[in-house]
Chains A and B, each alone.
Chain A
Amino acid sequence: MTIAQIVFLVISATTLVASILVVTSRKMVHAALWLVLSLGGVAVLFVLLQASFLAVVQVVIYIGAIAILIIFAVMLTRRMMYDTGSPINRYWWAGALAAVLLFAGLVVMLGQIPSITTQASALPIPEGELLSLLGTALVDVNGYMLPFEVASVLLLAALIGSLVVARPMERKTEEGDKR
């Protein structure tokens, strides 16, 4: 076993255990904290995959932003915190079954891909250049220009949509503002 392998195994074991705790924790805040650990583990896996940009992005977006959002939402829907009842619904066994079957199916299918045991070759481009390549590709007409601009529209739609949905009904303050 090489050091990289040991690191990988430790990190992925942590990630998976944390993921299981995410879906089984009784307290939602604990589930959110386990989610942070799990997603942090994925960030370390990105480092092992030599995608350091995605690793820091994972931490910034998932841990710094989405996890905070989830914790805020948990606090806002607080009544569940006292819920000492089961965190899972009546059909949890069906969910477990589906998850196990899907995992088995995925593993079997993965086994049939010829390139499954490929070892990583050295990165053909140095990492610093990779990032500027990514930047160029994102705004290139022949690259991902359309998805890039659509992403901004998607974010705009998400912002407006969630503001409309989440804002309280009474609109006294802005009426005064607009006058």
Chain B
Amino acid sequence: MHDQWTFIAFFLPVGFLAAAVAIIAGRLLGPRKPNPIKQSTYECGIETVGEAWVQFRIQYYIFALIFVIFDVEAVFLFPWAVAYNKLQLYMVLEGVLFILILAVGLFYAWRKGALEWS
């Protein structure tokens, strides 16, 4: 088991560091002549009005919310799917029931218009 993860313990940092090396190389190779206009925030040529960190619509949060719930649901179901071949019929139906209960939530969100973008 640990053998399986040693590769990943090497692989992820290597992917990270390779990118970091490229960025450092870019830093060294590229010119550096900063000036205020160059460093100003890009706004299609129009002067920035107010801070960049404006408030956002609630809809983003709602989607993230539904996502979290369904993500957890899927994670619950993965062990069930792995054990699928060893399960009796009623156990499989329990997993289906689990999905159906969550589907009620999706249906509710749909009916309440929480899935609309506008």
Tell me the minimal C-beta distance from B86 to chain A in angstroms: 6
- Contact flags B69-112 to A (C-beta < 8 A → 1, else 0): 10111011011111110110001001101100110110011011
Q: By the criterion CB–CB under 8 Å, are A72 and B81 in contact? A: no
Contact flag A52-B82 (CB < 8 Å), given A149-B97, A162-B65? no
Binds B, one of A16-24, A101-109, A135-143: A135-143
Contact size range, A:
35 or more
Task: Give the number of residues in B that approach A within 8 Å (Cβ atoms).
Answer: 50
Which residue in chain A gives the minimum CB-CB distance to B79?
A135
CB within 8 Å: A-B pair count: 143
Contact (Cβ within 8 A) B112 A149:
no
Closest to A4 in B: B2
Of the candidate stretches A30-38, A86-94, A111-119, A151-159, the one touching chain B is: A151-159
Q: Which of A127, A134, A151, A153 is close to B1, meaning CB atoms less than 8 Å apart?
A: A127
Q: Which of B62, B71, B84, B87 contacts A64 (CB 8 A)?
A: B71
Given known contacts A61-B75, A76-B56, A140-B91, A163 and B83 CB-to-CB distance under 8 angstroms? no
Supposing A132-B83, A139-B95, A159-B105 touch, asked if A152 and B67 sit within 8 A by C-beta, the answer is: no
User: Which of A52, A81, A166 sits near B5, CB closer than 8 Å?
Assistant: A52
Whether the pair B69, A72 counts as a contact (CB closer than 8 A) is no
Given A127-B1, A136-B91, decide whether A156 and B104 contact each other with a Cβ distance below 8 A: yes
Kindly state the separation between the CA atoms of A60 and B72 in the bound complex, as whole angstroms: 9
Q: Decide if B118 is an interface residue (CB 8 Å cutoff).
A: yes
Residue of B nearest to A178 (CB): B111
Interface assignment of B28: CB less than 8 Å from any CB of chain A: no
Q: Of residues 30 to 78 in B, which have CB atoms within 8 Å of A's CB atoms?
A: 51, 53-56, 58, 60-62, 64-69, 71-73, 75-76, 78
Compute how far the CA of A123 lies from the CA of B2 in the bound complex, rounded to whole angstroms.
Answer: 12
Known interface pairs A75-B56, A152-B102, A155-B102; A47-B5 also in contact (CB < 8 Å): yes
1/0 per residue A48-89: CB within 8 Å of B? 001011000100110011101100110110100110000000
Interface presence of A98 (CB below 8 A): no
Q: Is the CB of B60 within 8 A of A155?
A: no
B62 with A136: CB separation less than 8 A: no
* In the assembled complex, A110 has its CB within 8 A of some CB on chain B: no
Report the 6 A-B pairs with minimum CB-CB distance, sorted nearest first: A135-B83, A135-B79, A174-B113, A132-B83, A159-B105, A139-B91
Contacts A/B (CB < 8 Å), 25 sampled: A50-B1, A52-B1, A52-B4, A61-B68, A65-B64, A72-B64, A76-B58, A135-B79, A135-B87, A136-B87, A139-B87, A140-B91, A155-B105, A156-B102, A159-B65, A159-B105, A160-B105, A163-B65, A163-B108, A163-B109, A171-B113, A173-B113, A174-B112, A174-B113, A177-B116
